[in-house]
Amino acid sequence: MDASKVGIMALGSHEERHGAALPLDTDAKLASHVAQEAAKRAGAKFIGVLYSSHELPGIDTGKHQSLEEVLDELRTALLNAKRALEIKAAVLVNGHGGNEPIRERLPALEAELGMRLVFNNTLIDLEGPHAATGELSMGAAVGIVDFSRMVNHADFARHPEVGFVGLREARRRYDWAERQAQEVEKRGVRVDKFLGEKLLECVVIDVINDIREL
């Protein structure tokens, strides 16, 4: 398949709290950065970013939509790309952990749309705890960190979503959330632009590999 027939779509959240120093739409911005860079290098087509996002039960970090709402928007976006751009396959670059249940629904969506779909979760796999060092560092690499507010970023009383440290229900429900919270409590958070650049480069390369496999 020619790379120009592959669409790259970003999945993120637009209204999710990310501590003091990162914007609400951090996930959408990071996923869009990766999707556009991979599309540019591989000759694929960047076909946009979803407005909606899903969240797992017991995690209160902002405004999200139901899984069915997200799937409806995704279905429409992919169908429009197929009709207007003759897209035959798509890589979904996920920048929001709550979107992971979409992966399980992709086989049915592939059959319905007649398109091959790949769910790339590498951004989530590499960033580590929510709004902590990995995500802050990637944010610095793309220029979305407000360094003047870093002094308050790890104030868990005011920003309990950082590392999920103050999200007691999430920590009780999910072992991974408890492990990440303990990591942030122990190590704190920092910003390392070089680390962020390297993490993003790893994700871009992985998405390019998905494009080539398609």
Rounded to the nearest 5°, which phi and psi values hold at 86? 60, 35
Could you tell me where the beta strands, DSSP code E, fall in the chain?
A: 6-11, 45-49, 89-94, 116-120
How many angstroms separate the CA atoms of 64 and 53, rounded?
A: 5
- For residue 56, give the DSSP letter: -
Per-residue pLDDT of 167-188, as tens digits, reads 999 999 999 999 999 999 999 9
Task: Report whether 103 contacts 121 (CB < 8 A).
Answer: yes
How many angstroms separate the CA atoms of 202 and 208, rounded?
A: 10
How many angstroms separate the CA atoms of 167 and 157, rounded?
A: 10
How many angstroms separate the CA atoms of 66 and 88, rounded?
A: 27
The H or E element containing residue 41 is: helix 26-42
Give me 203's structure tokens. Answer: 């994700």
Angle at 208 between CA 204 and CA 212, to 5 degrees: 170
Select the CATH number that applies to the domain covering 3-213 from these four: 1.10.3720.10, 3.20.20.70, 3.40.50.10310, 3.30.70.20: 3.40.50.10310
Per-residue pLDDT of 131-177, as tens digits, reads 999 999 999 999 999 999 999 999 999 999 999 999 999 999 999 99
Confidence of residue 1 (pLDDT cuts 50, 70, 90): confident
Looking at residue 195, what is its pLDDT? Answer: 98
pTM, two decimal places: 0.96
In the predicted structure, residue 67 carries a pLDDT above the cut 80 = yes
Task: Report whether 207 contacts 38 (CB < 8 A).
Answer: yes
Task: Report whether 39 contacts 122 (CB < 8 A).
Answer: no
- For residue 149, give the DSSP letter: G
Per-residue pLDDT of 10-38, as tens digits, reads 999 999 999 999 999 999 999 999 999 99
In the predicted structure, residue 3 carries a pLDDT above the cut 90 = no
Q: Count CA within 13 A, CB hemisphere, residue 73.
A: 18
